[in-house]
Amino acid sequence: MARIKKYQKYIIAILMLSVLILIARFISEIDFHSLTTYLRKTPSMFVLVVITSFIAYVLSATGWMLCMGDEGKKTSIAEVFAVRHVGEMLGVFNPTSIVAGDMFKISLITKNGITKQNGISSILLLRMINFLSAMLLIIISIIYLTFGKLSSSTEAIIIFIMIAVAIAFGFLLAKYLLDDHLYFGKTMEKIRSKTKWPFLKEKTIDSCYEINTIASSYFKNNKLKFSLAFLLITFHWIFGALEFFIILQTLHIPISVVDAVAVEMGVSLFKSLGAVVPGQIGIEEYGNKIMLDVIGIASNEIWFVVSLVRRSRQLFWLAIAGIFLPIISKKKSYKTL
């Protein structure tokens, strides 16, 4: 692990160079006449993409507010939205990624009267819900991409499989993460004792128990809020996926919402793997290309427009974060326990 940290800069540089070379090859094969036609349609699709991303961010901020329990009443959705947004943008463009953004969010949310302990607990809970809702959508996407393209006669079977997966996922969620017997922490501890995997250190097991305790305690006292938060975060992912749907429909490329969700979740996996790269520059674009190919859209021109609009949306919200930062940073802190 220490050796990886020592050469981290070189690993990132090699990764970025490799991806950028692949992207350069894609760009070299672009038909610029067709691209010009597509680019004329970008202003209208950009406005719609910004609107859907705003809705996605509001859903996520509301989910986080619900994770705060009763203390969430001490703040407002506007303040939570601003704090979440600034922290997420920092996380995207900082090589330390999620940790840096989350620590920054904790330092800001405590200014709204939220205790530091609740700030930490709510963010850990939100991250867990984010991960679980993403996993559910990824599993459904894999089922859809594997079986959904076979024939129309399989539609009923696919729907049945998806419902069965959702029910099974819900059962496992309730059993291993929300039960006050802390089965998740115990399971991870048992795996560590039998496998001796190097990444399952004692600190990791302690973190598993901590997340398990927070999740089970919160669910025990806030079942409705937890369910609503899970639903909101799931819809946050779906609204994020609508970016692909809007762009491709505007370009007159037939695509379903389920296709768009599958592409979004696939790209999210690429971004997670390339989290060490600031802004996932090149990683996200490569993920866009691979996932568009998966659903049968091989056009380099369309890929370029998709990547351009999504990056433009990101830069727009980065500018908004720059406006939010001095406003929320100037707010005086409450005394927190």
Angle between helices 223-250 and 202-221 (to 10 degrees): 100
Average pLDDT over residues 67-83: 88
How many domains does the chain divide into? 1
Q: What are phi and psi of 7, to 5 degrees?
A: -105, 20
Among 199-203, 293-297, 325-329, the range scoring the smallest mean pLDDT is: 199-203
Buried b (16+ CB within 10 A) or exposed e, 7-45: eeeeeeeebbeebeeebeeeeeeeeeeebeebeeebeeb
Q: Is position 25 within any domain?
A: no
Q: What is the pLDDT of residue 149?
A: 60
Q: Is position 212 within any domain?
A: yes
Among 66-70, 88-92, 114-118, 137-141, the range scoring the smallest mean pLDDT is: 88-92
Q: Is position 74 within any domain?
A: yes
Among 52-61, 142-151, 240-249, the range scoring the smallest mean pLDDT is: 142-151
Q: What is the pLDDT of residue 147?
A: 73
The whole-chain average pLDDT of the chain stands at 81
Task: State the residue range of the domain holding 239.
Answer: 44-329
Long-range contacts of 118-121 (CB under 8 A, 24+ apart): 118/68, 118/69, 118/71, 119/68, 121/67, 121/214, 121/218
**From CA 48, how far away is CA 32, in angstroms rounded?**
25
Average pLDDT over residues 5-24: 67
SS (H, E, C) 63-77: HHHHHCHHHHHHCCH
Confidence (pTM)? 0.83
Q: Is position 231 within any domain?
A: yes
Highest mean pLDDT among 94-98, 154-158, 257-261: 257-261
Q: What is the pLDDT of residue 240?
A: 93
Q: How many residues does the chain have?
A: 337
- Collapsing DSSP to helix, strand or coil, 198 comes out as coil
Q: How many beta carbons lie within 10 A of that of residue 332, not counting itself?
A: 5
Q: Which two tokens stand for residue 268?
A: 């999210």
Higher-pLDDT residue of 105, 192: 105
Higher-pLDDT residue of 324, 156: 324
Among 55-59, 114-118, 194-198, 291-295, the range scoring the smallest mean pLDDT is: 194-198
Q: What is the pLDDT of residue 158?
A: 66
Q: Is the pLDDT of residue 336 over 50?
A: no
Using the Cα atoms of residue 131, residue 134, residue 140 and residue 141 in order, give the sign of their dihedral.
negative
Q: Is the pLDDT of residue 269 over 50?
A: yes
Q: Which two tokens stand for residue 16?
A: 């970025």
- 328, 86 in Cβ contact below 8 A? yes
**From CA 236, how far away is CA 64, in angstroms rounded?**
12
**From CA 120, how far away is CA 81, in angstroms rounded?**
17
Query: What burial class does residue 312 get, using C-beta atoms within 10 Å of its C-beta: 0-12 exposed, 13-18 middle, 19+ buried?
Result: middle
Q: Is position 185 within any domain?
A: yes
- 253, 153 in Cβ contact below 8 A? no
Which among 247, 307, 241, 244 is positioned nearest to 280, based on CA atoms? 307
Q: Is position 4 within any domain?
A: no
Among 38-52, 119-133, 137-151, 252-266, the range scoring the smallest mean pLDDT is: 137-151
**From CA 333, how far away is CA 337, in angstroms rounded?**
12
- Collapsing DSSP to helix, strand or coil, 178 comes out as coil
- Collapsing DSSP to helix, strand or coil, 282 comes out as coil
Average pLDDT over residues 298-327: 89
Q: What is the pLDDT of residue 96?
A: 53
Q: What is the pLDDT of residue 333?
A: 54
Q: Is position 30 within any domain?
A: no
Q: What is the pLDDT of residue 231?
A: 93
Q: What is the pLDDT of residue 81?
A: 94
Q: Is position 109 within any domain?
A: yes
> Any residues with CB less than 8 A from the CB of 188 and at least 6 apart, and which?
200, 204, 205, 208
